Amino acid sequence: MHLFLLILIIILILALLIISGLSRSLVHVLLFHYNDFKIKYKIKDDQWWNPAISWVNKNNIKWTIDLFGFRWITKIMVQFSDAFHTFNTIELASDIIREALYLALLIHAIFGLLFGAYLLIFFGSFAIILSVKILIAFNYGYDELWRDK
């Protein structure tokens, strides 16, 4: 792999770490110090920012596609229905992309593949990590394991 590309990937990994950390910190501030946040940033839209009331926004999403018993569009749209869900999604997406980059770099280092193969490995890693982390583990935990229906 070219040195320039390797440096670019390392910078991207560091940027994703920062984005993930900032998103996580904002979610915690919204959960535990919302009033301070509201005053400091002069927040006017509590329905979007305040997690104590914004969680109902997801109930207003009517557009859905049921496929194999899973409400795909609703699950995706909920991730952007309020600040809490949006910044959790940004954190999670940053983590997944970073993990895929790590895995692709590791496979590249072990097998010394060409850059085109590296891209295939990255997207394959991304798809696997996304599938396991979100579609299987999170949704199972959220929908089946932790809640009574």
pLDDT in tens, 75-84: 677 778 899 9
Range(s) of the domain holding residue 39: 3-145
pTM value is 0.72
If you write DSSP's letter for every residue of the chain in order, what string do you get? --HHHHHHHHHHHHHHHHHHHHHHHHHHHHHH-HHHHHHHHT---HHHH-HHHHGGGGGG-----EETTEEHHHHHHHTTSSHHHHHHHHHHHHHHHHHHHHHHHHHHHHH---HHHHHHHHHHHHHHHHIIIIIIIIHHIIIIIS---
Tally of domains in the chain:
1
Return the higher-pLDDT residue of 55 and 86: 86
The pLDDT-based confidence of 64 (bands split at 50, 70, 90) is low
